[in-house]
Amino acid sequence: MAGKMRFGIISFAHIHAWSYARVLKELEEAELVAIYDDDPERLKEAAQKFNVKDIYSDYHALLKRDDIDAVIITSENAKHVDQAIAAAEAGKHMIVEKPIATTLEDADKMVNAAKKAGVKFQTAFVMRYHDATATIKQVLERGEIGEILVITTTNHGKYPDLWFGDPELAGGGSVMDHTVHTADLMRWYTKDEVEEVYAVSGKNIRDYLTVEDTGLISLKFKKGVIGSIDCSWSRPSTWPIWGDVWLGIIGTEGYIVVDAFRPNVDLVKEGERLQWVYFGSDCDKNMIADFIRVVREDEEPRASGWDGRQALEITLAAYKSIKENKVVKLPL
């Protein structure tokens, strides 16, 4: 494949789509050719912002084009499945936003469709591409803190609003939104699968939401590593940054803390609240650049569709545990 890799973006419903589009404009080896959205206003806004001429209100029409190599699917969680299967059948490589689906059946269908079509299926686990977490992967591989004993994690956030509070479109609340990133990092670091999940969710911080906005998860991996995830949307709207991805990794011979989005400049404008202005790694850019490399070199993505499926299973196990107030064994 010579020249630029030609991309389409399927929906700007997920806020991350806007950052991915920016990256596609910035990367030498990429070109944003066409975009789709089922919201005409949003489609128009994205087309203007990113100067894209080919706009679609039917994603099948976009997928029919022979001059598009790959798509990024950033619609509402529940809509991924149909779009991903259609993309695979159209022979497009794809990056799918996390969580890749809202049910395991959907995730399996997506993984199988990509496999059958022989296209690359990368899950947008941007945290595998963040330079902080990727550096620590190397530190762990070199055995610098011995064997991993415990991984404590948080993926806090503000309430993202939009459709994230819609149980149909999102498939859940904060547990659906914020479990998968650090669950995936734990799988990546331990090279192991989760055996057992227990989770709790309490009274909501925001009483107007119909989905949960708190969640605490306790995990055990097959080889014995203990993990935990705080996936709560527990940051007020006035918090200086959107949230965090934090990991404390206890090894037999050391301890590591990753606070991936801590590199920030403090900014206070007269009469306004403190803001943190980020200066850390551009994980979205790293992720898309690596996707292009993986497609060209015919390798497996660092975060595959299967990884997306496995992290979703942990999320669904957490919901089951919350509902039944019991420890849930995997696989489901």
Partner 1 sequence: MDKLRVAVIGAGFIARVHIPSWKRIPGVELVSVVDIVEDKAKGYAEEFKIPAYYKDFREMLEKEDVDIVDICTPTYTHAEIAIESMKAGKHVLTEKPIALKMKDAREMIETAKKQGVKFMVAHCLRFWPEYVVIKRIVENGDIGEPRVARAYRQSGFPVWAPWHFDENKGGGVFLDMSIHDVDTLRWIIGDVEEVYARGGVLKEKKSTAYDYVHALLKFKNGAIAYVEGSWIQPEGYPFSTYMEIVGTKGALRVDNHETAAVKIWRPGQLPQDFTPNSEDAYYLEIKNFYEAVKYDKEPAVPGEEGLKTLEVVLAAVKSIREGKPVKLPLSEEVFA
Pick the closer one to partner 1 by CB: 25 or 220: 220
Pick the closer one to partner 1 by CB: 162 or 200: 200
Q: Applying CB under 8 A, does 239 fall inside the site for partner 1?
A: yes
Q: Applying CB under 8 A, does 179 fall inside the site for partner 1?
A: no
Walk across the sheet containing 226-230 and list its strands. Answer: 254-259, 246-251, 148-154, 226-230, 216-221, 194-200, 328-329
Which of 29-37, 230-238, 275-283, 290-298 is the region at the interface with partner 1 (rule: CB under 8 A)? 230-238
Which amino acid, one-letter code, is at 297? Answer: E
Q: What is the CA radius of gyration of the chain?
A: 19
Pairing of strands 54-56, 70-73: unpaired
Interacting residue with partner 1 among 1, 61, 150, 277 (CB under 8 A): 150
Q: Are 178 and 231 in contact (CB under 8 A)?
A: yes
Whole-angstrom CA distances from 113 to 109, 116, 152, 301 are 6, 5, 35, 16
Q: Are 308 and 125 in contact (CB under 8 A)?
A: yes
x/- letters, 98..127, toward partner 1 (CB under 8 A):
------------------------------
Which of 175-183, 267-275, 295-303, 319-327 is the region at the interface with partner 1 (rule: CB under 8 A)? 319-327
Interacting residue with partner 1 among 66, 253, 270, 298 (CB under 8 A): 253
Interacting residue with partner 1 among 102, 234, 304, 315 (CB under 8 A): 234
Cβ–Cβ contacts within 10 Å for residue 226, how many?
Answer: 15
Give the DSSP letter of residue 210: S
How many residues line the site for partner 1 (CB under 8 A)?
37
Interacting residue with partner 1 among 204, 241, 242, 276 (CB under 8 A): 204
Q: Applying CB under 8 A, does 264 fall inside the site for partner 1?
A: no
Q: Applying CB under 8 A, does 200 fall inside the site for partner 1?
A: yes
Least separation, in Å, of the C-beta of 243 and partner 1?
11
Q: Applying CB under 8 A, does 42 fall inside the site for partner 1?
A: no
Least separation, in Å, of the C-beta of 148 and partner 1?
11
Least separation, in Å, of the C-beta of 121 and partner 1?
33
Interacting residue with partner 1 among 48, 51, 210, 325 (CB under 8 A): 325
HSE-CB at 158 with a 13 A cutoff on CA atoms is 10
Give the whole-angstrom CA distance, residue 262 versus residue 277. Answer: 10
Q: Applying CB under 8 A, does 263 fall inside the site for partner 1?
A: no
Give the whole-angstrom CA distance, residue 167 versus residue 172. Answer: 5
Q: Is 74 helix (H, G, I), strand (E, B) or coil?
A: coil
Does residue 331 have a cis peptide bond before it, meaning omega lies within 30 degrees of 0? yes
- Listed residue (77, 104, 316) closest to 199, CA to CA: 316
Q: Write out the residues near partner 1 by the rule CB under 8 A.
A: 145, 149-150, 152, 154, 198-207, 214, 216, 218, 220, 226, 228, 230, 232, 234-236, 239, 248, 250-255, 325-327
